[in-house]
Structure 1
């Protein structure tokens, strides 16, 4: 460990051979830069591709953290995704600058060090490299927005509220969906351009619309996340950075702004239990390179502050009566009935973002008594850790009856991301049935 610290400290004081100038880098240049960073900082970075674009360009993801090559229990997974629309290019630039900032300051900057020691950060600079390669410098044109097949990737994800959204999934979208199946992401943001505002789910009309907003059961958390970015940005919180714009506090509910089906942030939340918001970070989609340094300075504190929010709420593991970690145990929080119930992952872990307060948790697992705990939740970002609450379940005498229920299957919704709203309803019904029966047996 001492050798590692000396190594990183030494590198932090050297002029970086991979330092970035503020310009637009093509796919070849980005790949070269990321490989250079990965070789320079092998102990805190891991570079891998999550798939390819239509034209065969790699979708490179750089992971940063103390243990970049593998998940460690209790360390939440965070991600930033840029350049989903190929002609919205500022996010692509800022995420490269963020990589440079994090790697060069690890062990010398307290905030950066605590961020990378307490979370595992995944950065995908460009989700649509084909679109970028065909785009042209212009504020509002659409050249390069779509992928090589002319598809808007932010309309191409399965939609829980639109049973007719059964279009062919594009290669780039499939790569993201597979990625979400391999990592248990807790918090995310995707970076766009053409406005300056933080938008949060739902984008489509969900189960309830309140005052023009399509709200999730975690609406308070999403508003907090959006405001965290907005108020740490130099201008976004003002709400009027772009001509004609008026976003109170610099945030908006996606549906209230304009409705869309097949969006990525809704998919993340419903199917992957990952809280994602959309960050519109520049009035001009493809601004002049001379504007990039100021855009970086405006967004840098917000990018860092948002990353800390991965520590909101509660985390822990669920164990069966033998002390074994269990997958697909349902985690209910009273008053927050999610369309697709939150569950423990492959590692038996769960993460639930919550604002400070007192919450009632109920854990349900086939063959075991449901367990209920009241948990007091502090503001985790202050200590770079959510509060930990583990659950040890007791075996139910009537396990044979419970395990005959449809919900007893160990198949996770995430395993079948093409499920539509009908399957989500079935999932919720079986979970509710199990809960009712278990409580009747215990009464």
Structure 2
């Protein structure tokens, strides 16, 4: 795979890193720090950055990075499309009184999208969704929601889980982008991000987490692009992708009071908005979301002493058409995005070593349970939303 991992710095106030993320350069932004960005770029992109006045430090070529992290051992412990379906079926069959496996849609290439409904009663007004793997290369984002579903079922006879499942429903869809995930099974394609839509220009893929309808298409830069070949291509229109429509229809049908979406990497807990640097206008909503994110940050740190940082999504970088903006903006749902391990590309970046699956889940378990408790036990009106 061609390309380089580079650090981009700004030598003067005339060329800001913020401007770089909103420029249409097709960069694959991996990390955002106050004084530099880590991006994957090719030689032509690097030449453009240098011509614009940015400083470039080569960190590693992509091929050695893949050789180091995308090993056979790195695959073990992670689900494939097939083994995820098998294990979700196993959970449903082992707990028929509580769990039901639902096909919520089909992907571009015809693969089913699975959601596990967990709860004693149907039609509850309290429902939460946990979503994973909008982005193909983020394998750990499949494992954490899957392990959460397993945990809820294994602990369904003890409080607080028993009480939650008696009064509410939890829906877990660990793999929103099965085509992309399947495509990443070979090292050459391990860093693929999008789905596998064939675009009008012959390129492939739409970024599912830029294809939701709230404020869709209002940005055009490296982190939300209208160029089909870019990694963050927003698609030809909102909800153009069947995977995203499947989530849309699930949310519309179930009217979730909370939605938590898992991604990787960077160890962050993000709350809306992503499309604007302005804060949520409703002060009580903003306070509730920020306090929940900060409490989840504290809960995570207690387990393995890992630092996850709570912040507004756009303070990482601007995104339009993402899941959390949409579920909060359209449905007033308590909406957060968790960026899982690791913190940096040197620790694996998008290719988290398999021996970290379990500790990553262990530290995120109390945070997920905090999310469940806050949403399921909050006053019925919950957050109200700006739009």
- Pair 1:163–1:62, CA change in 2 (3 A): same
Distance 1:105 1:37 in 2: 13
Question: Which residue does the alignment assign to 1:98?
Answer: 148
Aligned-residue offset at 1:314: 2.4
Distance 1:276 1:39 in 2: 30
Question: Which residue does the alignment assign to 1:82?
Answer: 132
Distance 1:156 1:235 in 2: 35
Match status 1:301 vs 2:366: yes
Could you tell me whether the CA contact under 8 Å between 1:137 and 1:286 is conserved in 2?
A: no
What SS is found at the alignment partner of 1:265? Answer: helix
- Pair 1:231–1:213, CA change in 2 (3 A): farther
Question: Which residue does the alignment assign to 1:398?
Answer: none
Match status 1:52 vs 2:52: no
Unaligned runs of 5+ in 2: 1-75, 198-204, 220-233, 343-348
Aligned counterpart in structure 2 of residue 229 of structure 1, from 264, 271, 296: 296
Question: Which residue does the alignment assign to 2:336?
Answer: 277
Question: For residues 341-395 of structure 1, what are the alpha-carbon distances to aligned partners after superposition, in whole Å with 9 as ceiling and x for unaligned?
Answer: xxxxxxxxxxxxxxxxxxxxxxxxxxxxxxxxxxxxxxxxxxxxxxxxxxxxxxx
Could you tell me whether the CA contact under 8 Å between 2:85 and 2:114 is conserved in 1?
A: yes
Aligned counterpart in structure 1 of residue 174 of structure 2, from 93, 117, 125: 125
What SS is found at the alignment partner of 2:267? Answer: strand
- Pair 1:172–1:115, CA change in 2 (3 A): same
Larger Rg: 1
Could you tell me whether the CA contact under 8 Å between 2:141 and 2:263 is conserved in 1?
A: yes
- Pair 1:151–1:42, CA change in 2 (3 A): same
Distance 1:263 1:83 in 2: 13
Could you tell me whether the CA contact under 8 Å between 1:87 and 1:136 is conserved in 2?
A: no
Distance 2:292 2:241 in 1: 29
Distance 2:266 2:323 in 1: 18
Question: Which residue does the alignment assign to 2:265?
Answer: 194
Equivalent residues in 2 for 1:140-289, closer than 5 Å: 143-149=191-197, 150-160=205-215, 167=237, 169-205=240-276, 213-217=278-282, 218-234=285-301, 241=307, 250-283=309-342, 284-289=349-354
Aligned-residue offset at 1:296: 1.6
Aligned-residue offset at 1:33: 1.3
Q: Name the structure, 1 or 2, with higher relative contact order (CA <8 Å, separation 6+).
A: 2
Aligned-residue offset at 1:199: 0.5
Distance 2:336 2:195 in 1: 22
What SS is found at the alignment partner of 1:46? Answer: strand
Equivalent residues in 2 for 1:2-21, closer than 5 Å: none
Distance 1:337 1:96 in 2: 29
Could you tell me whether the CA contact under 8 Å between 1:214 and 1:256 is conserved in 2?
A: no
Question: Which residue does the alignment assign to 2:159?
Answer: 110
Question: For residues 301-325 of structure 1, what are the alpha-carbon distances to aligned partners after superposition, in whole Å with 9 as ceiling and x for unaligned?
Answer: 1111211111354227xxxxxxxxx
Aligned-residue offset at 1:90: 0.9
Distance 1:65 1:51 in 2: 21
Distance 1:230 1:337 in 2: 23
Aligned-residue offset at 1:120: 0.8
Match status 1:134 vs 2:183: yes
Distance 1:157 1:41 in 2: 33
TM-score scaled to structure 1, two decimals?
Answer: 0.59
Aligned-residue offset at 1:338: 4.2
Equivalent residues in 2 for 1:27-38, closer than 5 Å: 27-38=81-92
Could you tell me whether the CA contact under 8 Å between 1:197 and 1:236 is conserved in 2?
A: no
Equivalent residues in 2 for 1:410-429, closer than 5 Å: none
Could you tell me whether the CA contact under 8 Å between 1:136 and 1:144 is conserved in 2?
A: no
Distance 2:367 2:271 in 1: 16
Aligned residues: 281
Distance 1:287 1:312 in 2: 34
Q: Name the Cα RMSD after superposition.
A: 2.7
Could you tell me whether the CA contact under 8 Å between 2:304 and 2:363 is conserved in 1?
A: no
Aligned-residue offset at 1:223: 0.1
Question: For residues 13-56 of structure 1, what are the alpha-carbon distances to aligned partners after superposition, in whole Å with 9 as ceiling and x for unaligned?
Answer: xxxxxxxxx81111111111111211221111111011011111
